[in-house]
Amino acid sequence: MKAPAFDFVKAQSIHEVLELMKLHGDDAQLIAGGQTLLATLNMRLSEPQLLIDITQLTELKGISQQGTVLRIGALVTHTEIENSELIQQYAPLLSVAAPHIAHRAIRNLGTWGGSIAYGDPAAEWPACSLALDAIMIVQGPKGERRIPAAEFFVDLYTTALNDDELLIATEIPLAPQGQVFSFQELARRHGDYAVAGLAAVAQRNGNSLNDPRLVFFSVANIPVLAKQTQALINQKPLSSEVLVQAVKMVRSEIETSADITNSAETKTHLVGVLFERAIKQMSA
């Protein structure tokens, strides 16, 4: 199918974007890399009358270290993240997660901000941002808002972004010394969306993990933190008994839902499998 007819504006400033959004309301939609939006237009899942191209906005570009945080502009592409030395040094979880996103051509165009704003439950960046305790910086007519990742993903394809706001950047605390991480994803073929995934970080202390953050994705409507299981394993020597108990707990804690090809039971099983793999990797 072909996309319906629409008007197109290449915005030159955030101010212009906000004015256009105010003027056109629901009839306007932002376009960044277009790697999700163009498919939804072609399938006529959405029919905006105006596309506002934000790719010229320099404020939304680049990766930089700013004091104790790493700032990732909304327009930073998946490939830029994959290749960034700053990311490798200060948020290495993202470096290992990036190659799991689609294929090179899509990673060259698709953006961090597009993925975060779209809020696909099977996408890698929402889960990683929650694991890394990121802050989303959004701009709207009333100014800037800073929204923790834990409050940003609200429901299936629904985020805390208001219709008249855009995502500008994300701030991620710099990985502390001794941080260990694991990114686990099960997909039918490399580059496919995940059947189930886990983005995990912790502080390693001998055979224990301190302050683990375990985020499962593609198992429910939004990425989910395994809070009870985190508390169970926190600072505890990871004996095989503790691991067995934790696998049981994580499977009962994470409420999975089916997708079009996999049942909730399959996802619950995979939650335990990915958890065990991640814990073994981080504590080895």
Ligand X SMILES: Cc1cc2nc3c(=O)[nH]c(=O)nc-3n(C[C@H](O)[C@H](O)[C@H](O)COP(=O)(O)OP(=O)(O)OC[C@H]3O[C@@H](n4cnc5c(N)ncnc54)[C@H](O)[C@@H]3O)c2cc1C
CB contact at 8 A, 104 and 138? no
As to burial, measured by CB atoms within 10 angstroms (0-12 exposed, 13-18 middle, 19+ buried), residue 106 is middle
Decide if residue 123 touches ligand X (CB under 6 A): yes
Among 7, 15, 22, 39, binds ligand X (CB under 6 A): 39
- The 10 Å Cβ neighbour count of residue 270 is 23
Which of these, 159, 157, 135, lies nearest to 146 by C-alpha position?
135
Q: Cβ-closest residue to ligand X?
A: 110
Binding ligand X by CB under 6 A: which of 33, 99, 212, 223? 33
List 11, 28, 36, 170, residue binding ligand X (CB under 6 A): 36
Count of positions on this chain that bind ligand X (CB under 6 A): 28
State the Cα–Cα distance between residues 40 and 62, nearest whole angstrom.
Answer: 27
Nearest distance from residue 261's CB to ligand X, in Å?
A: 15
Give, in order, the Cα–Cα distances in Å from 113 to each of 124, 153, 182, 232. 12, 13, 23, 34
Helix (H, G, I), strand (E, B) or coil at 56: coil
117 lines the binding site for ligand X (CB under 6 A): yes
Q: Based on CB atoms, which residue is closest to ligand X, 79 or 229?
A: 79
For residue 180, state whether it binds ligand X (rule: CB under 6 A): no
Q: Which of 90, 118, 152, 183 binds ligand X (CB under 6 A)?
A: 118
Is position 84 an interface residue for ligand X (rule: CB under 6 A)? no
- Please give the backbone phi and psi of residue 61, each rounded to the nearest 5 degrees, phi first: -105, 160
For ligand X, which residue of 11, 21, 113, 212 counts as binding (CB under 6 A)? Answer: 113
Closest CA to 7 of 34, 36, 27: 27
Binding site for ligand X (CB under 6 A): 29-37, 39, 54, 74, 101-102, 106, 110-111, 113-115, 117-118, 123-124, 161, 166-167, 193
